[in-house]
């Protein structure tokens, strides 16, 4: 399943919230440097959908706050 995600880095609190239209908003404390924020986004989305972190990958938007993720494909 592919999902659209909007990411906010350097947030005070981490979390996943569902927005109108099925899009997710993910807030992470990590900086958007060296892939740290992307790794944390994958962990939080995996926890949200109750799958292993290795089952979530970035399809589009590695360097953008708007991302398309694939969940449960592997």
Give the start-to-end residue ranges of the domains of the chain: 2-71
Residue 74: band (very low, low, confident or very high) from pLDDT cuts 50, 70, 90: low
Long-range Cβ pairs for the range 60-67 (8 Å, 24+): 62/38, 65/6, 65/7, 65/8, 65/9, 66/4, 66/5, 66/6, 66/7, 67/4, 67/5, 67/6, 67/7, 67/41
The whole model's pTM is what?
0.90
Answer with the residue of higher pLDDT: 27 or 18: 27
What pLDDT does 73 receive?
Answer: 64
**What is the CATH architecture assignment of 2-71?**
2-Layer Sandwich (3.30)
pLDDT digits (tens, 9 = 90+) for 19-67: 878 899 999 999 989 999 999 999 999 999 999 999 999 999 999 999 9
């Amino acid at each position: 399943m592919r999902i659209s995600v909007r990411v906010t880095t350097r947030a005070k609190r981490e979390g996943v919230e569902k927005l109108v239209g099925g899009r997710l908003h993910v807030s992470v404390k990590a900086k958007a440097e060296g892939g740290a924020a992307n790794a944390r986004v994958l962990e939080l989305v995996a926890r949200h959908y109750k799958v292993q972190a290795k089952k979530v990958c970035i399809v589009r938007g590695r360097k953008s706050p708007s991302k398309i993720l694939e969940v449960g494909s592997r």
